[in-house]
Amino acid sequence: QVQLVESGGGLVQTGGSLRLSCLVSARSASDYGMAWFRQAPGKEREFVAAINWIGSSTVYADSVQGRFTISRDNAKNTLYLQMNMLTPEDTAVYYCAATLLRIYVHITTADYDHWGQGTQVTVSS
C-alpha cells in the first residue's frame, strides 16, 4: 500500500517562495510517476506539474511554468515542488499523486492511483 504525505505548506506573501515535499511510503519511489495537483475553494482539482520515474521528463501547467519546479530524490523517496513568485491565485490545497504509469509524464487525475491528504498554501496580497 502506497502512502503519500505532503508537508511544507503555509502562509506566504505575494512574491514569496515555498517548497513542498511529499514523502512516498512505498518499496521504492522510482516505481512511480509523480505529480502535484491543487484545488482552490469552489474549483475543480487542477494539474500543476508532473515528473517521470527518474526525473528526466517534466511538464508544467501554463499558469506555473517558469515559477515552479518539480523534482524528486528517489534515494529519499521524496517528491518536491519549489514554488517561487507566488501570487494569491496560487492559493489552494496542494496534493501529490503517484501512478504506476512511470515512463512518461501524465497530467490527468484519472491516471493517478494514489493521493496524499493535501497541504494548504495561502498567498496573501
Q: What band does 119 get if pLDDT is binned at 50, 70 and 90?
A: very high
Check if the beta carbon of residue 73 is closer than 8 Å to that of residue 80. yes
Write the CA distances from 8 to 54, 103, 120, integer angstroms: 23, 27, 9
Q: How far apart are CA 26 and CA 12, in angstroms?
A: 31
In this predicted model, what pLDDT tens digit does every residue of 10-34 receive, in sequence order? 999 999 999 999 999 988 888 999 9
- Residue 19 has a CB neighbour count (10 Å cut-off) of 13
Cell of 78: 521524496
Check if the beta carbon of residue 123 is closer than 8 Å to that of residue 97. no
Quick one: pLDDT at residue 1?
A: 82
Average pLDDT value for residue range 25-44: 94
Average pLDDT value for residue range 47-57: 96
Q: What band does 64 get if pLDDT is binned at 50, 70 and 90?
A: very high
